[in-house]
Amino acid sequence: MNWHQLHTGKTLQQRLAEFQGHLAELNAPLSGLEPGIISKVYPRNFIKVNRQLFIPLSLFSIRVFDVPRARRGIRVGVRTVFPSRNAFNNIRLVGVGLDYIELQGKGKFSSRILFPLTQVESIYRPTNKKKK
């Protein structure tokens, strides 16, 4: 599978509208992690979480919980413009939108991580180094 098959043709706002009512964790530059329910997604630039309006394209990332595991995806590494300490060096890319990428979250609880493209420096295929 190649990454062209993962194109959704959607914007970040359109994708977030599908997650309305889900628990999310917003990673913002100044306020850190902000957990809450996505209560409303406005057609243009805003989402409402915890009675606050956020601009999704200005966030580092948005992690959405209670999302079924993706059936398809490819292993990639993602370098972000913010410090992430190799957290995304071996993760599944499951969607490529018009202004975001979507990753399958690691861990016990199924989640998706949405990155605005402005927060992504590069996407690469991880190499498998075998020990001699």
Q: DSSP for the chain, please give it.
A: --GGGGB----HHHHHHTTTTSEEEEEETTTEEEEEEEEEE-SSS-EEETTEEE-GGGSSEEEEES-PPPS--EEEEEEESS--TTTTSSEEEEEE-SSEEEEEPPSSS-EEEEEEGGGEEEEEPPP-PPP-
Instruction: Give residue-wise pLDDT tens across range 14-64.
Output: 999 999 999 999 998 888 888 999 999 999 899 999 999 999 999 999 999
> Residue 111 falls within a domain, yes or no?
yes
Cα separation, 127 vs 76, whole angstroms: 9
If one counts the domains in the chain, the total is: 1
Q: What is the mean pLDDT of residues 98-121?
A: 92
> Residue 130 falls within a domain, yes or no?
no
Cα separation, 45 vs 126, whole angstroms: 34
pLDDT at 126: 81
| Average pLDDT in the chain | 90
pLDDT at 87: 79
Instruction: Give residue-wise pLDDT tens across range 105-116.
Output: 887 788 999 999
Which structural domain, as residue segments, surrounds residue 100? 3-124
> Residue 131 falls within a domain, yes or no?
no
> Residue 132 falls within a domain, yes or no?
no
For residue 128, pLDDT beyond 90: no
For residue 129, pLDDT beyond 80: no
Q: DSSP 3-state assignment of 14?
A: helix
pLDDT at 107: 78
